[in-house]
Structure 1
């Protein structure tokens, strides 16, 4: 990600309601002019982060820093941020022009400047000529465009978008995804977008924070998050995955399903328990003799541009494969893949927890217990 001036920072921010921890010591930094996404299931804490940024909530501990100043106690109306909500929150008794002009009028801008600003914002969201329309005359997509124009008319340094596209149909969502990204790049404003839709996050973002249970499980570019998930939760939440237990026998050698495989990961202790991810699109069908794994085809379904195939190996592990050609149900086939297609994940740890543990290895020379074996792996904790 391009390095720009830092605009917002969370330092060990936590939030609790009574005995319920909603956020657990969150650290994050946002640079100006980037498109960020908070991605996670309902209840993961992503919308809570937006409320802490906007001033609707105050942290139980830690610091929220905006442009180098701690703003924990700064009232919401004095923060240079605006929010676009899922339900639009437009004023039904005002027409389109007056909705967009609401913020500039509060700032007591000259009416001529307000008119110019409103027209500029409506043109930006492709609603030029809609100034006199009533809100109830607009479609859902048009109302969302008005909500975006109204927020941008306040010239925020940070625009917060709380699942703004979730109420729209699939095709309209795709259109607005592209338009939002174009608007963000054109204006150079920092966007913080909240969604539970992984496809949406991958398509729109410069940088993604994957959240679960009040913790940032992983952060990175869309490519980082998809290609190198750090744990079971991230791999399952971001796309389809084949996940099996394994052991890193040494650098670049991982043991799973009874065999050793070359891979591209290093830096762990010998015989460290891990989970192994192989994405369905990275598996290719071949003959049993040429396969790194041998499986039996159980079923398949046509998905338009590929066949989704389910297969089972002799240890009863299920493997999902995406193939351009159909297979024969009941047939024995081989699966092949490249070393770089094998992704090694942490057991039950966030990215920060795992990185801290690896750093501790440098100071801990305790040898690995020789009783450890490639067949001993801990029970997987299922975050779902």
Structure 2
């Protein structure tokens, strides 16, 4: 049974100095899920966060919280808290007082403040650091203080604006696990903003891919990765081999001059399309056993696989991920299954894409 949305955006448009930043953005967020808004810098993802938080007003459209319009509700009246990229901690206050700041503004009594702050310190694994000064903390500890300060106010929803971007790679990965575990334990709605596709795939229940102020595709991490809707999504999320092709008929596509069985349907006969094959889905084999023949150009050891770059006779570049090395200059075959081929229509919108999938999946 589908839950009622905690937040809904309906046809949100926003323009600044004549430039349209958001273009007819609509989506719903259910309570208790981890959502990610994924896109490059300048795509509009942080603007959406600011609209939900109340820091920016849309030019048109409605923002609903639990079914009630909140367009004109100030940020401090919304049951939504925000964690910023720079943490926005008070350097003149210690850890305890930073976390307690919002409770003091609400004029909570001393015993309640102490109890709730201590609960948060335990929750974010900062017990024993209540008196520590902010400038004495590591980046990860500052991140935890920022999270605790937001959660202590019992928000219904938490907005996180690229909060891990300042951390080193190992700590960033550790904090991904911690944030995901924390969200699941608390059961509140998270909306996480990032440009890092690996971060989005690892942490999210549901992803919105945004570019140029438009939501291009939304779905689970598996859906987004396995069934990208267009060139941008396929290229932005994960590594992709993308070539031009023709949809001969349902479940048959032509590319690099050959017909291949595939798992896609619902397009016009002989319609021009783009074809995606993920590098990890390509297997190197003998030339006689391969569906394609390529010549190896370069290869790089990535730790758990070799990244191999090869070219076919039409000079299409093919990236292959293999656990076994090959030889530079070698001519090899490439194998793949029909399910590994993903066919994308030019200019297809998400609504049409979803409807087409339903027609042949049924």
TM score, norm. by length of structure 1? 0.91
For 2:35 and 2:97, the matched residues in 1 are separated by: 30
Deviation at 1:110, TM superposition (A): 1.8
For 1:226 and 1:9, the matched residues in 2 are separated by: 25
**Map of 1:254-293 to 2, 5 A cutoff?**
254-293=253-292
**Map of 1:292-303 to 2, 5 A cutoff?**
292-303=291-302
Matched, 1:337 2:339: no
For 2:98 and 2:2, the matched residues in 1 are separated by: 36
SS at match of 1:322: strand
Which residue number corresponds to residue 212 of structure 1? 211
Matched, 1:143 2:151: no
Which residue number corresponds to residue 125 of structure 2? 126
Contact 1:4–1:33 (CA under 8 A) maintained in structure 2: no
Q: Which moved more, 1:339-348 or 1:223-232?
A: 339-348
SS at match of 1:289: helix
For 1:353 and 1:123, the matched residues in 2 are separated by: 48
SS at match of 2:245: strand
**Map of 1:168-317 to 2, 5 A cutoff?**
168-317=167-316
How many residues in Structure 1 have an aligned counterpart in Structure 2? 358
Deviation at 1:352, TM superposition (A): 3.7
Deviation at 1:353, TM superposition (A): 6.1
Which residue number corresponds to residue 365 of structure 1? none
For 2:161 and 2:264, the matched residues in 1 are separated by: 37
Matched, 1:73 2:62: no
**Map of 1:339-378 to 2, 5 A cutoff?**
339-352=338-351, 354=353
Unaligned 5+ segments in structure 2 are: none
Which residue number corresponds to residue 321 of structure 1? 320
For 2:348 and 2:103, the matched residues in 1 are separated by: 47
Which residue number corresponds to residue 55 of structure 1? 54
Q: Which moved more, 1:30-39 or 1:248-257?
A: 248-257
Deviation at 1:350, TM superposition (A): 4.1
Deviation at 1:3, TM superposition (A): 3.2
For 2:131 and 2:80, the matched residues in 1 are separated by: 27
Residues 48-93 of structure 1 deviation map (CA, whole Å, 9 limit, x = unaligned) = 0000000001110111111101111111111110000110100111
Which residue number corresponds to residue 33 of structure 1? 32
Deviation at 1:355, TM superposition (A): 5.4
For 1:114 and 1:55, the matched residues in 2 are separated by: 26
SS at match of 2:163: coil
Which residue number corresponds to residue 376 of structure 1? none
Residues 244-279 of structure 1 deviation map (CA, whole Å, 9 limit, x = unaligned) = 011111110111110111011111111122110000
TM score, norm. by length of structure 2? 0.96
For 2:29 and 2:104, the matched residues in 1 are separated by: 30
SS at match of 1:296: strand
Flag the 1:355–1:178 CA change in 2: closer, same or farther, 3 A. closer
For 1:168 and 1:277, the matched residues in 2 are separated by: 33
Which residue number corresponds to residue 107 of structure 1? 106
Residues 106-137 of structure 1 deviation map (CA, whole Å, 9 limit, x = unaligned) = 22222111111101111111101111111111
SS at match of 1:160: strand
Deviation at 1:166, TM superposition (A): 0.2
For 1:248 and 1:349, the matched residues in 2 are separated by: 15
